[in-house]
Amino acid sequence: MGPETTTDEVLRGVDLTATVALITGASSGLGVETARALAAQGARLVLAVRDVAKGEEALAAAGVDPSVHDLRTLDLADLASVRTFADGVMADVGRLDLLVANAGVMATPEGITVDSFETQFGTNHLGHFLLVNRLAPLLVRSAPSRVVVLASAGHRIADVDLDDPHFERTAYDPWVAYGRSKTANVLFAVELDRRLRHVGVRATAVHPGEIMTSLGRHLTRETLALMTERVGPREMVFKSVEAGAATSVWAGVVADPDAVGGRYCEDCGVAGIVTDPASTTGAYAYALDPERAKDLWALSEQMVGEQLD
């Protein structure tokens, strides 16, 4: 397996008829492909979307019959929506074998969520933080189970800033905000895995690669130029959506849970820690720092207003 491996190649011969999977952001791009691939192997899906009608249309176009799966409204930028969604799943869904925290935003204009969090940190990290923790009892009851958190090589742009996570004292930079949120995604997986592995729930962060999806809808010439300043000029090698979603389904279904638990994965494999800044693969050490992960967890609990066990 490698960068060009597709979802269907990863799941060839895998029977998922007894599997229930929840996917956020299942109305476009990687979310739709992840749903299609899992459904093709028999999985039953709970699909979180902001717009159910849009989700049904996108899934049908991909060959997934939305009528046989469970589409529900979720806005990760609104903690009340997250709580309502999670409460509904806990009440209605009997088991949960896999949760793919796929939804996200990238390089957005400066803004805040409904709960006054910086948009990217609030949506990409805090929304998923609350969602997964609210669904943790179901994951534990269904163990062995897994959580796959969509991170990005963009975590290399910036570490989390635990003292100023919402740019209240520093000038806003869309790529620094994105980098912080993606580092938070990796750290969340590290600490979640530490907390739940003893009860059979494993968590993994994955980088899907460079893919042309609606995630880039906020990009402008200015933000692209700013990105070049951040990482330097380089040739972009884009994956297909099928290859981009492959690492998610590999980590969530096929990979050895002990090998991927608490790790950062890419190209259907476990990535190492970057020691050469010129390297184009691997994770920066700060994103896998267990003490940093604990500190972020404590701060996240304060922000969402819940002590999560």
Can you give the CATH number for the domain in which 153 is found?
Answer: 3.40.50.720
Q: How confident is the model at residue 230 (pLDDT cuts 50, 70, 90)?
A: low
Q: Which of 133, 131, 117, 185 is nearest to 156 (CA)?
A: 185
Per-residue pLDDT at 226: 52
Residues 81, 130 contacting (CB under 8 angstroms): no
Q: How confident is the model at residue 232 (pLDDT cuts 50, 70, 90)?
A: low
Q: Which of 48, 23, 115 is nearest to 77 (CA)?
A: 115
Instruction: Tell me the catalytic residues.
Output: 178
Q: Report, as an integer, the average pLDDT of 245-255.
A: 98
Total number of domains in the chain: 1
- 215 pLDDT more than 70: no
Q: Report, as an integer, the average pLDDT of 92-107.
A: 97
- 218 pLDDT more than 50: no
Does a structural domain hold residue 148?
yes
Residues 16, 43 contacting (CB under 8 angstroms): yes
What is the CB neighbour count within 10 angstroms for residue 127?
Answer: 28
Per-residue pLDDT at 280: 80
Per-residue pLDDT at 1: 83
Does a structural domain hold residue 298?
yes
Q: How confident is the model at residue 247 (pLDDT cuts 50, 70, 90)?
A: very high
Does a structural domain hold residue 178?
yes
* Average pLDDT of every residue of the chain: 92
How many CA atoms within 13 Å lie on the side-chain side of 140? 14
- 302 φ, ψ to 5°? -60, -40
Domain interval for residue 100? 7-302
d(CA 208, CA 187): 17
Q: Report, as an integer, the average pLDDT of 5-27.
A: 97
- 183 pLDDT more than 90: yes
Does a structural domain hold residue 160?
yes
d(CA 168, CA 177): 12
Residues 18, 98 contacting (CB under 8 angstroms): no
* Tokens 């009608």 belong to residue: 53
Residues 226, 173 contacting (CB under 8 angstroms): yes
Side chain identity, residue 126: L
Q: Report, as an integer, the average pLDDT of 255-284.
A: 92
Q: Report, as an integer, the average pLDDT of 265-293.
A: 92
Q: Which of 190, 210, 202 is nearest to 254 (CA)?
A: 202
Per-residue pLDDT at 281: 87
Residues 56, 134 contacting (CB under 8 angstroms): no
pTM metric for this prediction: 0.92
Residues 292, 286 contacting (CB under 8 angstroms): yes
Q: Tens of pLDDT along 72-86? A: 999 999 999 999 999
Does a structural domain hold residue 307?
no
Q: Report, as an integer, the average pLDDT of 295-308.
A: 95
What is the CB neighbour count within 10 angstroms for residue 168?
Answer: 9
Lowest mean pLDDT segment, chosen from 42-51, 143-152, 231-240: 231-240
Does a structural domain hold residue 1?
no
Q: Report, as an integer, the average pLDDT of 272-292.
A: 90
Q: Report, as an integer, the average pLDDT of 39-54.
A: 97
d(CA 277, CA 162): 24
- 255 pLDDT more than 80: yes
Does a structural domain hold residue 186?
yes
Does a structural domain hold residue 235?
yes
Residue length, the chain?
A: 309
- 237 pLDDT more than 90: no
Lowest mean pLDDT segment, chosen from 1-5, 50-54, 140-144: 1-5
Residues 137, 253 contacting (CB under 8 angstroms): no
